[in-house]
């Protein structure tokens, strides 16, 4: 099976799979055997056993789709705490110079919220919340570091 470009299942495919689980639920109520349900619905017995356990514990609602899977996100409180920490500057977090890089922000997020985000996710998070990439004067680049700075009023600047 192929996944959509963004990863995960399409809405149509999630709806189809939910319908299969709901068909299994009707058969659970009728007391049918796991092997018969799996054969007729063309799924593994293990899946049917997992669905039956979820159905026993949570009813039909436990078999409904939970929606698309998404990238872990910071809560509003975690984001506010991150902005506060970033406002202290890189030296307050043990970095030698006054430059925020994506890797450094990633490390702060990891220490603060025990969450591992990719560099790309950190970049999107910063961009979405008013942080912008700041170009330095020619001749001042040191390697691949990318300096970030908050220019939004939420961060107390700008």
Joined tokens for residue 101: 């890089």
- Assigned architecture for domain 76-155: Orthogonal Bundle (1.10)
> Is this structure's pTM higher than 0.95?
no
HSE of 150 in the Cβ direction (CA atoms, 13 Å)?
22
Question: What pLDDT digit, counting tens, does each position of 47-77 carry?
Answer: 999 999 999 999 999 999 887 666 557 888 8
- H helices within 30-101, ranges in order? 34-41, 45-58, 76-87
Question: What pLDDT digit, counting tens, does each position of 12-49 carry?
Answer: 888 999 999 999 999 999 999 999 999 999 999 999 99
CA distances to 70, 110, 141 from 24, in Å:
26, 41, 61
Question: What pLDDT digit, counting tens, does each position of 77-127 carry?
Answer: 888 898 888 888 888 998 888 888 889 999 999 998 888 888 888 888 888
Domain ranges of the chain: 11-63, 76-155
């Amino acid at each position: 099976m192929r996944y959509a470009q963004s990863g995960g299942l399409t809405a149509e495919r999630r709806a189809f799979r939910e319908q299969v689980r709901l068909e299994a639920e009707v058969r659970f109520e009728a007391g049918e055997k796991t092997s018969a349900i799996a054969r007729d619905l063309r799924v593994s017995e293990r899946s049917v056993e997992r669905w039956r356990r979820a159905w026993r514990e949570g009813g039909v609602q436990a078999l409904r789709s939970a929606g698309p899977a998404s990238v872990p996100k910071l809560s509003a409180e975690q984001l506010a705490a991150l902005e506060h920490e970033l406002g202290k500057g890189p030296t307050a977090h043990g970095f030698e110079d006054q430059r925020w890089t994506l890797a450094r922000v990633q490390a702060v997020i990891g220490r603060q919220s025990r969450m591992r985000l990719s560099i790309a996710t950190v970049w999107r998070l910063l961009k979405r919340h008013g942080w912008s990439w700041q170009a330095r004067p020619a001749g001042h680049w040191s390697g691949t570091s990318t300096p970030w700075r908050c220019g939004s009023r939420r961060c107390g600047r700008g």
